[in-house]
């Protein structure tokens, strides 16, 4: 899977983190149905590996379905077994190294210039700028100067209002969690989730 191309064309990666496995699965399926092409299921979710496996069965082999908050070698291996087609890490660790060993695309978490450079040197497909809220759009612009060729994906504090600003500042795509998912993955209203998904896509595609 060419994760960079998917991020460049999809513009949005949804991040699902929930306390209700059934609701998390419904959330993933609803987001994809609304046109969000890339979805990450955080391993901090209840029964995350089951959610991944069921979503893969529902969506088929071609869906861009990833495992997030991957920290360890075991996390990576179990995510692959559950059907994840890419890995997202909060930082640089053994989960990143194992994914690269398995030749699995990785969106690796980094914040400082040193971490960005390390993520690239260790084989990350793209770099998750996290938490993006810490420096905002200006910090992304500053990083783009020494790293013009590094694909950066801001995550953490990104919403429908700021997503377009990040993209215009040079982000490859944006990752959006709670502002998009809300309480849907905990059993909340799917209609409201769908409306937020449509609003977010309209913002980044306009």
DSSP character string of 142-198 = HHHTT-TTS-EEEBSS--HHHHHHHHHTT-S-EEE-HHHHTTGGGT--HHHHHHHHH
Q: CA 183 to CA 181: how far, in whole Å?
A: 6
Over residues 40-82, the pLDDT tens digits come to: 999 999 999 999 999 999 999 999 999 999 999 999 999 999 9
Reported CATH class of domain 3-205: alpha beta
The pLDDT value recorded for residue 11 is 96
The pLDDT value recorded for residue 206 is 74
Number of residues assigned to the chain: 206
Share the mean pLDDT of the chain.
Answer: 97
With cut-offs at 50, 70 and 90, classify the pLDDT of residue 154: very high
The pLDDT value recorded for residue 1 is 76
Does the pLDDT at position 150 exceed 80?
Answer: yes
Q: What is the mean pLDDT of residues 85-106?
A: 97
Helix axes 136-144, 160-168, angle to 10 degrees: 20
R_g over Cα of the chain: 15
The pLDDT value recorded for residue 205 is 86
């Amino acid at each position: 899977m060419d994760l960079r191309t998917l991020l460049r064309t999809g513009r949005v990666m949804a991040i699902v983190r929930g306390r209700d496995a059934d609701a998390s699965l419904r959330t993933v399926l609803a987001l994809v149905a609304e046109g969000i092409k890339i979805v990450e299921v955080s391993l901090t979710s209840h029964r995350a590996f089951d959610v991944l496996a069921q979503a893969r069965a529902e969506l088929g082999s071609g869906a861009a379905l990833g495992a997030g908050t991957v920290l360890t070698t075991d996390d990576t291996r179990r995510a692959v077994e559950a059907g994840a087609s890419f890995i997202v890490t909060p930082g640089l660790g053994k989960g990143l190294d194992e994914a690269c060993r398995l030749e699995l695309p990785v969106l690796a978490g980094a914040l400082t210039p040193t971490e960005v450079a390390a993520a690239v040197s260790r084989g990350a497909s793209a770099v998750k700028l996290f938490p993006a809220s810490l420096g905002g759009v200006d910090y992304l612009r500053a990083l783009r100067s020494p790293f013009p060729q590094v694909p950066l994906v801001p995550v953490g504090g990104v919403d429908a209002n700021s997503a377009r600003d990040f993209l215009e500042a040079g982000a490859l795509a944006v990752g959006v969690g709670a502002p998009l998912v809300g309480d849907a993955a905990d059993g909340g209203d799917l209609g409201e989730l769908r409306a937020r998904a449509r609003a977010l896509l309209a913002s980044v595609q306009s």
